[in-house]
Structure 1
Amino acid sequence: MVSAAGAEVDLDVVTKVVTAYQDLLDSHWTDSNCSLSSCVNASSSVFASSGDKKSQRGSSFGGSSKDNRDERKNSGENPKFTQAEATILRVRDDMKEFGLPIVSAKSTISVTDAKMNADGKVTVSADIGTTKTYQGSDDPSYMSDIHTLTLSLNKENVFAVIEDVVAPMPQEEILADKPENVDFNDVPVDRILGVESAGNNQLAVNPVGANGDTAKFSLLPSHQDQSSVVVKPVLDPFFRQPKPDVEKMVAYALHWSREDLPRIEPVKSKEDVNPNYPNQGTNCTNFASQALEAGGWKRKLGVDSRDSDAWHPFSKDRAHDNRIIPTSTWGAAANLYGYAKTNGPYHDLGEKEFAQKGDLIFVDWDPNNKFDGKIDHTMVVTGTISASSPKGRFTTPRISQKTRNRHNITFREVFLHMGESGKEPKNARWYALGLK
């Protein structure tokens, strides 16, 4: 690797540096000796040599310098963390206090780009996915994010990650009018978390396995030839969607949010969606609608893509030369919320209720750090897990989603990472729909 701006960067070296760094961050999830105030194994102690190819492949490539750790321990200096590293420590501590300690974490790394800057530092783009397990559950969770890392090279030819910033959650971009004649009733976030009625909120935790082994996938287009998938659109204007088969709905959401899903060629990212559906770029609501179809909902064509009684992944957009796009009820969060209430079996989550498998969670988290009246994001509840805290023992939901990819993570983590990304969770409005 050379230091000239614009010069070619050795991705093999970069990947090894980032891997050594991420391995350390994974250990922070369970390392009680590392905190925001005291951590001799902070990422600033990780180094990796840029020596010849032989040394790069050696077992000593990347690690923590004992002299560096001892010097830091004796200096009394506060540890220096990257942004992503500090987030891990804060989320870890909050999850423990919430009653769901994280007991294991392991990440996979895909470096997508690396550029040498004029100052000799290297800017790296990487897709980093982390699989974690929680105390009391063997079912893993998974989440992936796009990271921008900065690597520094010192005069001894030693590299280190000096910053790591996670890209913010993208905003839904589908153009749709807010549905009329629909009551938008936000729900206290403690109700969704399950702590509003802690102590009286008990549910046997029996989520579908992460691999969906107990589910039948006969209704999932992903397991058939695309040409054999024939869906007759419903034309009845008084048609209402049935109560979905929750197990099939959840199995679909779990299957298509897994890390080990076979990638669609050519490989682009871990955000690939079922090829039998449109890819909207931001696919959270598109993904929720796919899960509902797997659970038994029927496609319904209407006048055009903005018909509030229609629900279909392929509809004519008469306002733009009849291009084919999903209906707003299929692909836009606020419109799916309205459709599920007026044309389906969903209702606003009420007092003394808590989110369960098959429920839908929505949020208005405008990037200006306050709600703006437009629902921005959709999540599918794919499981529940028991937690114990000073408030008592209670059941809290796990969700799966697209953009960014989340597989069966706790809703509490969604809430926490929202705060870490610069959005204030208390300034958002949360909506939750339960099944009747």
Structure 2
Amino acid sequence: MSVPVPRQRNASVSENSAAAAPAGGAPDAPASSGLSDGDLTLLVIEDDPTGTFTVPELTETAGGTATRVRIRTARNLTEAERLLTDDVHCVLLDLALPTGSGSGSGGQDGDDGLGPLRRVLRIASRQAVLALTTSADAPRAAEAVRLGAQDHLFRDELDGRLLSRTVRYAVERKRADTAQMKLAESRLRAEENSRLERGLLPTPLLEGTDLRFAARYRPGRSRALLGGDFYDTVRTPDGTVHAMIGDVCGHGPDEAALGVELRIAWRALTFAGLCGDELLSTLQRVLEHERESEEIFATLCTVDIAPDGRRAGVCLAGHPAPLLIRGDRATQLLPYQSGSPALGLLPRARWPRRQVELGGAWSLMMYTDGLIEGRTGPGEKERLGQEGLQRMVTRQLSAGLEGEALLESAVARVRKLNGGELTDDMAVLLLSRG
């Protein structure tokens, strides 16, 4: 059935699918087409092989730019699928097309006469789709839009300018719908990633102890919840509280995943009874098997606090030493054990466990180097360092801060001194007694 569109002067370029299409591909655009990037290609699916379908060139469009519509015609859905290439912007389907006209549906699309439309919507998922029918068939036209067509046109009301305008609007609506769908998918992926990353962050297991726990964690990656830094705290059945904090070199998702693997391995090994050098040696084997390259290493600090809370064993693997805060608010950097390399650097390294007296009332601050590598002031080149952190915490203790408030103030102060957000991952935890 041909579609009568009034011919006007300066008609747009038209293609006849039967004559212009080379074997196995879409028709080549004539050299004289003069189509610009703003012009559109319309695939018309109608069943009259002798019919012609032309669209007059618009002389006035949005922004004052003329838009022309190039036409491809197909007699059935099989031919339409061959002509439906990426440069097609819109498909106009005559709803009078016979249901069995190359649809391959075998009657599976129902008997409402919209089987060809359903087929087109499946194969033209990236293109706008318009339905063509008569005004006497308005209910089916409305159903076509409900099924997914961008709009419908009535054959007995159609003229060239209306068709050109409808094609342009349909293409814009399809683009807007596609952008909105991609945005929604992006938001869903972000929400799923956030839930996953939150699930990978540790839940301290300290039931049965009088120790207080606080932590702050900030990944360096933009829009991420998880970085290469990791920490954990658990209490084993004998009453010992074990804490650790570590840092995988690098800031990407691979480093974050490796940090999670090391944390989970540490928790499992700790509950299995490993401690000190034996535990770190096993973690090094885990790192060597799981890392992407031999260049990857991780620093680590582990602390095991005796059931009475007065003593602790400390192991350092290339990691900054914890800050011990006594009950009288005096601060002390625990001695750094020399000759204790990061995990993954030396194949037969050893990590001696050092005994530390804590006393009756104390706080132990464990942190990654992201907390101490910020600047000492906006525009300054000097790093804060461990001694700078010790001085800063001493001042905050003098102001009466402790626990959560102390950590919050410390992180805020470090950011302020740095003149903005820290670029490295950062983790800091505080265990307190008394």
TM-score norm. by structure 2 comes to 0.20
Larger fraction in helix: 2
Q: Which has the higher contact order (CA 8 A, sep 6+)?
A: 1
TM-score norm. by structure 1 comes to 0.20
